Structure 1
């Protein structure tokens, strides 16, 4: 596992250097962000980055940091044995932790609204990973069901009574 962490840190630091934003990557080892999956967290150091660079790396609604994370998960697992493969979460300036809390609130609000009105709720503007997280948050609900509807980039999460 340490090899996977070091491989991830080196890859991320090289990517950031190529992007003209040389900084360090650290790892807090393995941290659980969802109940069913562990992920190696790679944290981009902010000490050598300006606030503009941080915003650029995160991107509008997290699109850039999601793209970096997608690349990490694809490229770092390419040609690796199954036991050397794993999931990577890229964190920058607390974005993932903050967004996780926001997604919990979105799920709770949607669930309460569906229960109160009996009407289904569409939650727009979520990435596929974010839709998956909300599906996961509500999967054990006995009275609600979730589904994704539509085509990218306009795909929406739907919460409705079971």
Structure 2
């Protein structure tokens, strides 16, 4: 190996050591998001605590406690907007696009349970009728939950339509 090749290998190895791990990056995203949300809660004069976690390949930040329903809004519309603002704050700080998931007052956790039940019912209907079952339009988060639940039940689902009327279709077994 030439001297320049040894230097290149050494430089690459050192760069790998200097680069933060995926977990470190996600935890940093959560910290940035928590700072942004704490400032927002202070400005809005709302009480709430911030919980941070890492779930798979995304940071998960939850705002809990107090009267937080106005941060959820009708059908989670305010929560969706707040999540996008929080992702932008993370992007501004890190320079990297974030897949951060935000929950307020347990809304997404409760919604996940309801969507899982709806998916299980759709699976049962598709199996019984032998025909596709079309669900109501959903947000991308909601569709992901349903697709995962359908896959766990052993069936296949697909999305159809255009936003904001995009929906999940549960397909019967062949």
When normalised by structure 2's length, the TM-score is: 0.71
Q: Distance in 2 between matches of 1:21 and 1:118?
A: 53
Deviation per CA, 1:71-110, whole angstroms, max 9, x where unpaired? 223431346266xx65322222221221111111011010
Q: Does 1:102 align with 2:122?
A: no
Secondary structure of the corresponding residue to residue 71 of structure 1: helix
Alpha carbons 2:133, 2:170 under 8 Å: kept: yes
Aligned to 1:155: 166
Aligned to 1:26: 50
> What's the CA shift for 1:21?
3.6
Secondary structure of the corresponding residue to residue 124 of structure 1: coil
Number of corresponding residues = 148
Aligned to 1:10: 35
Cα RMSD (Å) of the superposition? 2.4
Q: Distance in 1 between matches of 2:150 and 2:92?
A: 32
The runs of 5 or more residues in structure 1 that have no matched partner are none
Aligned to 1:138: 150
**Structure of higher CA gyration radius:** 2
> What's the CA shift for 1:122?
0.8
